[in-house]
Structure 1
Amino acid sequence: MPDQIKTGMDADVFEAFMVQFKDYVRNRLVPAEKSIVETDRVPDDILAEMREMGLFAVTTPTEYGGAGMNVSQYIEFVRQLSYAMPCFRSITSINIGMTSAALIKSGTAEQKAEWLPRLAAGEIAAFGLTEPGSGSDSAAMQTMATRSGNGYVLNGTKRYITNAPFAKVALIMARTSKEALPKNAHVSAFIVPMDTPGITVGKSDKKMGQAGSHIADIIMEDVHIPGDALLGGVEGKGFQIAMQSLDNGRLSVAAGAAGYAQRIIDTGLRYATERKAFGEPIANFQLIQAMLADSEAELYAAECMIADACRRADAGEDILRKAAATKMFSSEACGRIADRCVQIHGGAGYLAEYEAERFFRDSRIYRIYEGTTQIMQLVIAKNMLREFASQS
């Protein structure tokens, strides 16, 4: 049953904010992309602007210095932000949609008071779930949190962790039991400052695309943390917290894919109307029009799924299956749209001189992180079968 209705920001205030924000994305962030591609980093002045604008605080409750957006508003914010290259979503969404969301949902009053204002102010966060031998398989998780006096000692390695090279705090999932317990009760969540002794961060991984977004290993060797670092003060809730955060994360990835897909379609349209062959724009050719039409239809379907899943989340529904389906469809659609954009460009689409080549590389990760398409299929099917069995 729905537990609460998330009202979010005043609708008129949100609409006015989004008008200004859309302009900022197109006239400030998009022009900065060339520099980011060359330097592989988001410029400090843009990060400062994003903090000043409150972009790290959009979902944080107003009492902790945020805007208090509901899920629908937050995901629309992500969709508009994602018209620009993906690094802008990456650097903000771990704070907003995952770490802050976990604190809001499961943190103690003291944890919220300490960390939510800091995350809202733009202290960069990381989300430590994936390991060298464990991603979606929590039973294979090796990172251990061993009790020591009133606290814990962390040992283990987290892999492919977005924002790790410059994060100030990480939400780390670790085993508090050596045995895999029912309902994943062997996993707990910990709030860990990244300057804690014993933490080292590996070299930033070189990636296929997504310039300006950085991932790296987080290595923990005898990292002593106090007992109040345990999120919510209760052991065994880490997997549940991670999955709830991943629902938000999957909607964010879906919105990221949809926002970027709109950019890709706009670029394909522009090239098709400017490029001439046989004495006329290639946009006049029906097979080019078919690729544009298929892309528009798929984007529309993705946007409808996103809107429906967000509405259900704000109504308090369990959206595990809907979030997985939305992420799966939207990310796959974005990949197909990027491929068509390259095809519309022809030989030029294979050249780094044109944006289509970057779009193709950037969009590939959407089908992998926050759960691969294949994991989404398993999540959806298992949920369907479980529901069917309960009704039999």
Structure 2
Amino acid sequence: MTDLTHDFLKTIQHFETTLGDPTNEQSEINFVRSVTLDEAQAFPDDYIHYLKDIGYFSYFVPTEMGGKLHELSELLLLCRTLSRRDLTAAIATGQTMLGALPVWLCGDQTQKTLLAEHILQGHLGCLALTEKRHGSNLLASEVSATEHADGYQLNGEKWLINNATQGHTMTILVRKYDHNQRESLAVLLLDKTCIKDFENIEKINTHGIRCADISGIRFRNTQVPKSAIIQTNEPGMYGVLKALQISRILCAGFSLGAFDTCLRLTYDFAKSRTLYQKTVLDMPTVQQGLGRSFAKLLVAEMVSLASSKTLNYAGKSLSVYSASCKYWVPKTTELAIDELKVILGARYYLRDEYQAGMFQKMQRDNAVVSLFDGSSQLNLGLISSQTNAIASKLLDNPCVHPDIAAWFDLNTATSLSTISSAMLSVSNMGQDPVLASFLAITEQRQFDTLDANLQSVLHTLKQHILSWCDTIQTLQHNEQNEPASVVRFAATKQYTQLFATSCCALYVIFNPSHPLLGQSDIAQDLLTVILDDSDLWVPSSALLSTLDTQHQNQSMYSLLALPK
């Protein structure tokens, strides 16, 4: 265990202080500069060099390879810290981590050393999966790697790849043909500085992250060495699927950062704008909207942190939890930002009038998060295919996970000495330690010391989970059992909501002395805003006071108190 207050959070605060106030044009990464780059669709080279100089790239490399990556939650919050300033830079560097994950999970020592050297020098990388003809159907990939005496010959085109041109390295999914023309999907690590006979596809224009290098690559009899292939004892596709389980959680950092900025800009406006002898903040509906957004941001943070810590405590369940996190967090932030723009009014729509038009830029940029590393539909499909087994096990004498208290303790984190493919699985086999632990705790009456109203909310959550299990079991016996059916997808969306609320509940149960979660009013706000979100939901004065305090302190909107 490591003490978050003295280790983990100090790193986050260091970067917060170093990056500075993004509304100040003297800060290296600032809103005015970011919007100017966005208007010109110019790649933020200076931002990338600056991030390398302040050591940001070192957190993409495991400690065993000379970097500082030892806790996934730390990287998640670092990503959030950068994202609230500029999503293009955050996503470009995040794509480097995405390209590195299959290597950290499955690569040999030589490949890891090569990649670590590139990343520590601030070189960008990427993961090349998609092709124009096949989209997210990775099993249909056509880019070929034909084996010959000296290595492999690549042919074909990868499309819609972030950093495909800017990246020095590329981790790529190919259809490999051996000497006997037997084919299989495999993953290669390419050092683009050492190969030739390839063509970069020009930048593709997008509505959001307009500065990003969204492009592609075309191979024509491109020769690569045999050492490029990442050898595994399981199908090559498994390494990609497992890498995506981790990257989907890190994507939540993008949405948390964008949401933080949109809420901050809106709160600033509501406090300063006067109408009819009152500030906009004095209006009850505005307080409701800001309080609801703050509550949802805190729950989204809990879902992201709990999912990131799954790697430490229940890696085999990551196939479901990462997909749930990747669907629920971006979707929740998108809807909440839509509500915030109503409060901001016309200034949301003006390009130059209010904070350089950063709110509108953040909204556009954040919209892309739900698309990559598996779209919302794809992630719902991944969960839906496993809900039958999950429901069955939840109804069959669920038990408390042995490490559940440590998992959901906000005061501690567990360092990972290494990240390996063996820690993960492509299926959770019905195991759901989060919901199972919550159900078991309710049976054991472990939260009887909590406020009576809060206990009532937790018992309501229990009934919602059991009702969901009954629904899934009923669906197994009719024609709507197809995982991609409308009814099953609706039930899967409900599961992600139950997962989010259960994460919140467990954080409340295991952090009774927390300055926020230890307050019954705030705990109820966080649970009910997800469990029963309606137009009649009203934030407590305690929640609004916390929002105001964190805003005045210019701290990250968070359950984690950053040391100054």
TM over 0.5: yes
1:17 corresponds to: 11
1:106 corresponds to: 106
Moved more, 329-338 or 20-29: 20-29
CA distance in 1, matches of 2:118, 2:76: 22
2:84 corresponds to: 83
Q: What CA deviation, in whole Å up to 9, does each residue of 1:90-144 have, x standing for no partner?
A: 1211222x22222121111111122212222211101100111223322221111
1:164 corresponds to: 164
Q: What is the CA-CA distance between 1:9 and the residue it aligns to?
A: 10
CA distance in 2, matches of 1:197, 1:235: 30
- The question of whether the paired residues in 2 share the 8 Å contact of 1:338 and 1:359 is answered with no
CA distance 1:10–1:308, change in 2 (3 Å): closer
- The question of whether the paired residues in 2 share the 8 Å contact of 1:171 and 1:192 is answered with yes
1:61 corresponds to: 62
- The question of whether the paired residues in 2 share the 8 Å contact of 1:189 and 1:237 is answered with no
CA distance in 2, matches of 1:87, 1:8: 32
Give the secondary-structure state (helix, strand or coil) at the position aligned to 1:105: helix
- The question of whether the paired residues in 2 share the 8 Å contact of 1:328 and 1:376 is answered with yes
1:217 corresponds to: 216
Task: Look up the equivalent residue of 1:329 and give its one-letter code.
Answer: W
Task: Look up the equivalent residue of 1:359 and give its one-letter code.
Answer: M
Whether 2:358 is the aligned partner of 1:364: answer: no
2:125 corresponds to: 125
Q: What CA deviation, in whole Å up to 9, does each residue of 1:324-348 have, x standing for no partner?
A: 1111111011211221232112122
CA distance in 2, matches of 1:201, 1:124: 15
Aligned 1:128-147 pairs, distance under 5 A: 128-147=128-147
CA distance 1:85–1:297, change in 2 (3 Å): same
- The question of whether the paired residues in 2 share the 8 Å contact of 1:338 and 1:363 is answered with no
Give the secondary-structure state (helix, strand or coil) at the position aligned to 2:92: helix
CA distance in 1, matches of 2:303, 2:4: 23
Aligned 1:369-384 pairs, distance under 5 A: 369-384=372-387
2:434 corresponds to: none
CA distance in 1, matches of 2:112, 2:66: 11
Q: What is the CA-CA distance between 1:10 and the residue it aligns to?
A: 8.6
2:252 corresponds to: 254
Task: Look up the equivalent residue of 1:320 and give its one-letter code.
Answer: S
1:302 corresponds to: 300
Aligned 1:286-365 pairs, distance under 5 A: 286-315=284-313, 317-318=315-316, 319-353=318-352, 354-365=357-368
CA distance 1:151–1:177, change in 2 (3 Å): closer
Q: Please, what TM-score do these two structures have when normalized by structure 2?
A: 0.63
Q: What is the CA-CA distance between 1:285 and the residue it aligns to?
A: 1.3
Structure 1 gaps of 5+ residues are 1-6, 179-184
CA distance in 2, matches of 1:277, 1:290: 18
1:4 corresponds to: none
Identity of aligned residues (%): 19
CA distance in 2, matches of 1:143, 1:376: 24
Give the secondary-structure state (helix, strand or coil) at the position aligned to 2:152: strand
Task: Look up the equivalent residue of 2:220 and give its one-letter code.
Answer: E
Q: What is the CA-CA distance between 1:177 and the residue it aligns to?
A: 5.3
Task: Look up the equivalent residue of 1:108 and give its one-letter code.
Answer: D
Give the secondary-structure state (helix, strand or coil) at the position aligned to 1:344: helix
Q: What CA deviation, in whole Å up to 9, does each residue of 1:290-314 have, x standing for no partner?
A: 2212211221221111111111112
Give the secondary-structure state (helix, strand or coil) at the position aligned to 2:61: coil
Task: Look up the equivalent residue of 1:314 and give its one-letter code.
Answer: N
CA distance 1:39–1:8, change in 2 (3 Å): farther
Aligned 1:20-39 pairs, distance under 5 A: 20-27=14-21, 28=27, 29-31=29-31, 32-39=33-40
Whether 2:388 is the aligned partner of 1:385: answer: yes
Task: Look up the equivalent residue of 2:129 and give its one-letter code.
Answer: L
CA distance 1:242–1:59, change in 2 (3 Å): same
- The question of whether the paired residues in 1 share the 8 Å contact of 2:118 and 2:168 is answered with no
Aligned 1:160-309 pairs, distance under 5 A: 160-176=160-176, 186-195=184-193, 196-231=195-230, 233-234=231-232, 237-309=235-307
CA distance 1:115–1:386, change in 2 (3 Å): same
Whether 2:59 is the aligned partner of 1:50: answer: no
CA distance 1:15–1:296, change in 2 (3 Å): closer
CA distance 1:274–1:66, change in 2 (3 Å): same
CA distance 1:8–1:135, change in 2 (3 Å): farther
Q: What is the CA-CA distance between 1:8 and the residue it aligns to?
A: 8.5
- The question of whether the paired residues in 1 share the 8 Å contact of 2:63 and 2:70 is answered with no
CA distance 1:9–1:294, change in 2 (3 Å): closer
Q: What CA deviation, in whole Å up to 9, does each residue of 1:335-369 have, x standing for no partner?
A: 11221232112122222223222222112111211
Structure 2 gaps of 5+ residues are 22-26, 393-428, 431-472, 474-564
Q: What is the CA-CA distance between 1:377 and the residue it aligns to?
A: 0.8
Q: What is the CA-CA distance between 1:373 and the residue it aligns to?
A: 1.1
Whether 2:75 is the aligned partner of 1:71: answer: no
CA distance 1:175–1:235, change in 2 (3 Å): farther
CA distance in 2, matches of 1:187, 1:236: 11
Q: What CA deviation, in whole Å up to 9, does each residue of 1:14-53 have, x standing for no partner?
A: 3332212012334332344244224433544432221122
Q: Please, what TM-score do these two structures have when normalized by structure 1?
A: 0.89
Moved more, 362-371 or 311-320: 311-320
Q: Which has the larger radius of gyration?
A: 2
CA distance in 1, matches of 2:278, 2:213: 43
CA distance 1:385–1:219, change in 2 (3 Å): farther
CA RMSD of aligned residues (A): 2.4
- The question of whether the paired residues in 1 share the 8 Å contact of 2:171 and 2:187 is answered with yes
Task: Look up the equivalent residue of 1:201 and give its one-letter code.
Answer: N
1:182 corresponds to: none
CA distance in 2, matches of 1:224, 1:316: 41
